[in-house]
Chain A
Amino acid sequence: MAERFDAIVVGAGPSGNAAAYTLAKAGLKVLQIERGEYPGSKNVQGAILYSDALEKIIPDFRDDAPLERHIIEQRMWILDEQSFVGTHFRSDDYNKPPYNRYTIIRAQFDKWFSSKVREAGALLICETTVEQLLLDGRKVVGVRCDRMGGDVFADVVILADGVNSTLARKAGFHGELQPKNVALAVKEILFLPEETIQARFNIGEEEGVVIEMMGSVTEGMVGTGFLYTNKDSLTIGVGCLLSDFKANPKKTAPYALLEKLKRHPSILPLIEGGEMKEYCAHLIPEGGYNAVPKVHGDGWLIAGDSAGFVNAAHREGSNLAMTSGRLAAETVIAARAAGKPMTEKTLAAYRAALDDSFVMKDLKKYRRLPEVLETSPQFFTTYPALVTRAAKTLFTVDGVDKMTKQREVTGSFRAARKLTGLVGDAFKIWRATR
């Protein structure tokens, strides 16, 4: 069955769906291949949907997309074993449509996005794993699926096969992921009545809260915890660099870390009584700008997590995925319109488009951050402990005069990091995030 397509898209996550939708809308003959039972059944995310990236693809997505809650409040917590120090940002501006971001449940959302892709005219085949790319010399000419007679051919293949990026690796387009460049995240979904969630988080119907956490919960590993409000469920999870999990002398399993987070005295009252209905794990490519592989070649483009497009500093990924999928598709459409072959030279326009977008601009801005965090565990151990201790010292009324308390706080910082260390750390963070 040597059926031929204008384009094959591997994967039906945010980048694959964005690519397939854009291609099909432009009238191309598109085959999309998904290994799950349905789109979303292999996909894991926190999950926050940033409206802007999807609006650029499906402007009226709010009409029927399965959205959980729009986020009106963002909390950042620094934890020690007993307490947290937090900043909360809540604004009624976030309560005015069109909403900026939503919590979503990926299995439902991806299914919806995929229905739009099929409406646009793409052919979707599920329950089919692509085993390898078919090459003619250096040029990708199609894919081999794990079904009888599973070779399919196309002018161009868009790889949106996720963080493990097995197809590009097998074809030798890039090497294996480095443990320091990926985070392993685990999470659970806990079901609670809608009203209970609203009361516990001080929110109204359809309003949502996001809590991001750092500190003792990761046992000194580079990582964060999170708690998101869905309509009638909560998502709670924790993720750390894989290299840190591997090197942790306590040999803590990821699920043990998650259990510890769930039992934290500041978290437990929020999630208590929640009925756990699923436990997920996923890798997140957090290597940033310097870990982005080659994203195009003869007959192929790579988008989303498989290209490492995650802005770890801002916890953004699905928006980079959708944008890169769209830009990959637009590159193909423009090349076709100009009658150009899908060569590496033609498809270089994709990299240029990425460089010109927030995707690469943001990754470039934070290009030093992965290395700084990886080599500076104090940001995940010493500082959270100092901050919570300082808060306790200052807020406990016990007859000790305030000047003494203030000296104790500044003394604790200087004792832990010395003045040079404090200045150096501040400089590191400034340089890595400016």
Chain B
Amino acid sequence: MSAAVNVEEKLFQNRYRVDPGRPHIRIKQPEVCANDCQTQQCTFVCPAACYKVEGNGAVTLITDGCLECGSCRVICTEHANVAWEYPRGGHGILFKFG
């Protein structure tokens, strides 16, 4: 049923200052996601749908809509494959209401 909800519409209401070319989260070893991770839970738990499964089983990450919650890092318990930092000062999500 997740497919029925358009998260992009929700994220569109938010205010961001993207730091171009400097994503604050990185998949350490993409081949681990593609080959070793059975669950790929980041692809459905991320509340901003930053992680997507590609047709070939690879997981891609685009951090532009990131809400900086930390879930992807915390749930990657088997492989600890998420390098997670906060964005540079002043960048990333800027909550208007919070």
B interface, how many residues as a size bin?
35 or more
B63 → chain A closest CB, angstroms: 14
Contact residues of B between 1 and 48, Cβ < 8 Å to A: 1-2, 4-5, 7, 10-11, 13-14, 17, 39, 41, 44-48
Interface residue count for A (Cβ, 8 Å)? Answer: 57
Are A280 and B98 within 8 A (Cβ)? yes
**A250 to B97, alpha carbons, bound, how many Å?**
31
Any chain B CB within 8 A of the CB of A163?
yes
Q: Assuming A242-B75, A256-B1, is B90 touching A279 (CB within 8 A)?
A: no
B69 / chain A contacts, CB cutoff of 8 Å: 184, 281-283
Contact residues of A between 117 and 151, Cβ < 8 Å to B: 126-129, 131, 145-147
Q: Assuming A45-B98, A107-B98, A188-B10, is B90 touching A176 (CB within 8 A)?
A: no
A interface, over-half SS:
mixed
Are A255 and B5 within 8 A (Cβ)? yes
A47 / chain B contacts, CB cutoff of 8 Å: 98
Any chain B CB within 8 A of the CB of A391?
no
Any chain B CB within 8 A of the CB of A60?
no
Are A145 and B45 within 8 A (Cβ)? no
**A182 to B89, alpha carbons, bound, how many Å?**
25
Are A107 and B95 within 8 A (Cβ)? yes
Any chain A CB within 8 A of the CB of B74?
yes
Any chain B CB within 8 A of the CB of A293?
no
Query: What 13 new A-B contacts, CB under 8 Å, besides A147-B89, A163-B70?
Result: A40-B98, A42-B94, A42-B95, A47-B98, A127-B90, A178-B74, A179-B77, A182-B74, A252-B2, A253-B44, A256-B2, A259-B5, A279-B67
30 contacts between A and B (CB under 8 A): A36-B90, A37-B17, A37-B94, A40-B95, A42-B93, A42-B98, A44-B95, A107-B95, A128-B90, A147-B89, A164-B84, A166-B84, A176-B73, A179-B74, A184-B45, A184-B47, A242-B45, A242-B75, A245-B71, A245-B75, A246-B45, A251-B44, A255-B2, A255-B7, A255-B10, A255-B49, A279-B7, A279-B10, A279-B13, A280-B95
